[in-house]
Structure 1
Amino acid sequence: MSDDIIVVQEEDFSHTQLYDQLRSYSGQGGAIVTFTGLVRDFHSDENVDRETVSGIFLEYYPGMTESSLKSIVALARERWSLCAVSVVHRVGELQPKDQIVFVGVCSEHRQAAFEASHFIMDYLKTQAPFWKKERRASGDCWVDAKTSDTLAAQRWKG
């Protein structure tokens, strides 16, 4: 849909500007749900002790990644009636507390907006071609997908 914003960029983004764009595209929308992800200053997963992270480097495959994001949004549109969707994902060098991802969904009702934004984030974490290297005290480390993210995305299937 022409009202959707799907961007991969190095620059920071304005949550307020993205929210205002969703409002202006809302049409019959009665609900806007937004999610903003931040870079954490620690690493923790099921198999590794918590460790300090001083930054991350995110790589992506230009063209393929944007196409993947569009496909994820299209899947969300198939499941829910949505007025507008915004997905902005940053790449490159990022520091703890930097904004990394914005997902905004406008729909007629709140349940669709909440569920669609949750779905989009779950699929972003597991389906979008991004590669993350953490700068840890013990050395740089490429990060594998978490089991918890895979399980979260699986709940939307079937």
Structure 2
Amino acid sequence: LFNPLHPVLGNEDILYIDIDSVIVGDITPLTTMKKITLLNDFSQHGASVAPATGIMFIPAPAKKNVWDEFMKNPEKEINAIRTPPYHGDQGFIGRICQDAERWQNILPGRIISYKANIATPKMIGFNPELYDGTGNGKLPDGVSIVCFHGSPRP
């Protein structure tokens, strides 16, 4: 995703969508970003929300910095112990791209969580810790993507 020298994708902007997400509406607005754009972790609230990489817009010019940082010591980055919510690739990418835009801030309501914004207490996958009080079991208007981030899988 971030290799600026990749023969096919190196010079291309990328809209990355994890396999546990479902496109349910128009995603065109998600393809017009100028900066790297990440999700806010759905389990976090407040001003200093951890990043999540389930849906990313990666403009071609942003790739080099992330790639170069990773390639300085790939073994260290792969084996680094990071605790949630700063775990895995999102911990690394969040550290390198601290000025990334966040989907929930620039396109509110376009990308939502099944657990936080749709599921009700009687539905599979309901999580009272994530539930925001708005879910009624139906897809809200204007949504482009629903993220499942864990069980149940779509």
Query: Considering the TM-score relative to the shorter chain, is it more than 0.5?
Result: no
Which structure shows the higher helix fraction? 1
Tell which has more relative contact order, 1 or 2 (C-alpha 8 A, sep 6+).
1
Which structure shows the higher strand fraction? 1
The normalised TM-score by structure 2 is: 0.28
The normalised TM-score by structure 1 is: 0.28
